[in-house]
Amino acid sequence: MIKVSVLYPNNDGSKFDFAYYTASHMPMVRSRVASACRGVEVDEGIAGGTPGAKVPYVAMAHLLFDSVEAFQQAFGPHAKEIMGDIPNYTDIQPIIQISNVKS
């Protein structure tokens, strides 16, 4: 199992529209990657690691797939559409990380 994490750094002055992200963008992503995606989680950053610390990421999305190949096959045909929707909810350049899920 692998996890595709999409991380949105908390840059000063940046915008992020959670209403659009949760009501439009993520449902569109889920419908495009369909049954290849084993699970989805969306997190909203609310605090840093110490009291008063700035949250490092305003938002994170995590998608589970059986393998990198399964992700690439599901995402690839829809990459342009999915990535093209980003300006509708944020001006932040997301960071993508693919990880092996160990537990």
- Give residues with Cβ within 8 angstroms of 99, minimum separation 6: 2, 3, 5
Domain at 2-100: CATH code: 3.30.70.100
The answer to whether 62 and 44 are in contact (CB under 8 A) is no
What's the confidence (pLDDT) of residue 6?
Answer: 98
How would you write the pLDDT of the chain (103 residues) with one tens digit per residue? 999 999 999 999 999 999 999 999 999 999 999 999 999 999 999 999 999 999 999 999 999 999 999 999 999 999 999 999 999 999 999 999 999 999 8
Is-above-0.85 flag for pTM? yes
Q: How many CB atoms lie within 10 A of CB 48?
A: 13
Chain centre distance of CA 52: 25
Q: State residue 59 phi and psi, 5-degree precision.
A: -155, 155
What's the confidence (pLDDT) of residue 60?
Answer: 98
